[in-house]
């Protein structure tokens, strides 16, 4: 598997505050639709992991992608997949949305 960099939710927010618009970075949420009903970040782009190969043309490889899931496992696989397909600026969100709710927004439901 291709190795990709990781970033914690706290580091993400320090680098790209969620209150600002960032045209050069995409937080890519690869969780399933059912998971979004429990907890979601409104500024994230959603594309379930299984749909990535068929929808990769929708993603702009010139942007920075931070890939997230529930815990960081699926997102690491997707980040490596993207890196293997020419995406040069890809990171995995360590701990996923579960870590986001612990580090950044305790009001965000955990599951």
Task: Answer for the pair 94, 8: CB distance below 8 angstroms, yes or no.
Answer: yes
pLDDT cut 70: percent of the chain above it: 99
> Considering the domain boundaries, does residue 9 fall inside one?
yes
What is residue 65's predicted lDDT score, i.e. its pLDDT? 97
> Considering the domain boundaries, does residue 70 fall inside one?
yes
pLDDT at 2 over 90: no
- Listing DSSP states for 24-91 in one string gives TEEEEE-S-HHHHHH---TTSEE--GGGHHHHGGGS-TTSEEEEE-SSSHHHHHHHHHHHHTT--SEE
Looking at the structure of the chain, the number of domains it has is 1
> Considering the domain boundaries, does residue 110 fall inside one?
no
Find the mean pLDDT for residues 2-25. 90
> Considering the domain boundaries, does residue 109 fall inside one?
no
3-class DSSP assignment, residue 98: helix
pLDDT at 74 over 80: yes
Find the CATH number of the domain harbouring 82: 3.40.250.10
> Considering the domain boundaries, does residue 111 fall inside one?
no
Supply the residues annotated as catalytic: 69
* Structure-token pair, residue 23: 């045209």
> Considering the domain boundaries, does residue 108 fall inside one?
no
> Considering the domain boundaries, does residue 35 fall inside one?
yes
Residue span of the structural domain in which 80 resides: 5-103
What pTM did the predictor assign?
0.95
């Amino acid at each position: 598997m291709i190795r990709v960099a990781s970033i914690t939710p706290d580091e993400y927010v320090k680098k790209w505050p969620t209150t600002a618009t960032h045209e050069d970075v995409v937080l890519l949420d690869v969780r399933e639709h059912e998971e979004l009903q429990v907890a979601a970040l409104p500024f994230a782009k959603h594309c379930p992991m299984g749909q990535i190969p068929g929808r990769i043309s929708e993603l702009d490889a010139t942007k920075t992608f931070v890939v997230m899931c529930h815990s960081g496992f699926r997102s690491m696989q997707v980040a490596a997949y993207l890196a293997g397909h020419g995406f040069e600026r890809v990171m995995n969100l360590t701990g996923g949305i579960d870590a986001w709710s612990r580090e950044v927004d305790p009001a965000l439901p955990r599951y």
